[in-house]
Amino acid sequence: MTSKRGYRRGYSVAVLIGLEDDRAIVWRVFSSVVKPERTLWLDETRDNPKATYNFHESIIDTLRPALKEGVRSIILAHPPRSSYGQAFIRHIHEHHAWLVQGPNRAAFSETVGSAGTVSEVAALVRTPQFHKLIDETTSEETQHLLGMLEKCLNASDQNTVVLYSLKETEGLICSPWKQGSLKPEYFMLTDKYVSDSREKNRIQRLMQIASNKNVKTRIVNAESAAGKRLTQLGGLVCLAQPS
């Protein structure tokens, strides 16, 4: 992945999980780099139902911070002729249906390959297949975002307020939130809005504050369907509801 001027790691794109025989290695995929997050070990063998259940639950728990940030593209890498990815997705359907249902659902995809070490991940992310998979998975995710955005824009009850300017969004996110006042739920920008802005430091600071205050923050590819819709709205949107 190519570096963008002014960014050391870029913005969050997806989570990559390398599923091996006895462990899972969780990576955060940014627009410029891929960084290791955590290694989770399987206590017993995979034919032990309780151990496998606990193992899958530990993966879900590790995903929660990224999901809370608004990153909902999850890529599962597993060895050839293994069913580790399918087993994990089956676990999600059986025990965490909220991850695959509703407007805030995550987008899951699978690829064959090893993602257990830095060198293996470096080799994996260089392949055209991986880039295609990233595009397909994030496209599915942004379609979910687009549906949520359109629902808010067309809502007749006015429970959700939509902000379109950096100044308004900054004022809302940085101010204390009181009971009954507006609370930001989702902060979305296109990558083009960020790259073209003369106030990148201001935007980066705002995104960090939003993340610290558990506002779901997402930078969307301007060429995606959701990105094009965001561009029509100015490139930045903040969805807020009464707290």
Q: Where along the chain do its domains lie?
A: 12-143, 155-242
CATH 3.30.420.60 fits 12-143, yes or no: yes
**pLDDT per residue over 76-91, tens digit each?**
999 999 999 999 999 9
Would you say the CATH fold of 155-242 matches that of 12-143? no
Fold of 155-242: 60s Ribosomal Protein L30; Chain: A; (3.30.1330)
- The most confident of 13-22, 124-133, 209-218, by mean pLDDT: 13-22
In angstroms, the CA 124 to CA 50 distance is 31
Nearest to 191 by CA among 180, 203, 183, 178: 203
Rounded (5°) CA angle 205-64-6: 30
Q: Per-residue pLDDT tens for 29-55?
A: 987 889 999 999 999 999 999 999 999
Cα–Cα distance for residue pair 175/179, rounded to 1 Å = 13
- What residues pair up with 130 in beta bridges, in sequence order? none
161 falls in which pLDDT band (50, 70, 90)? confident
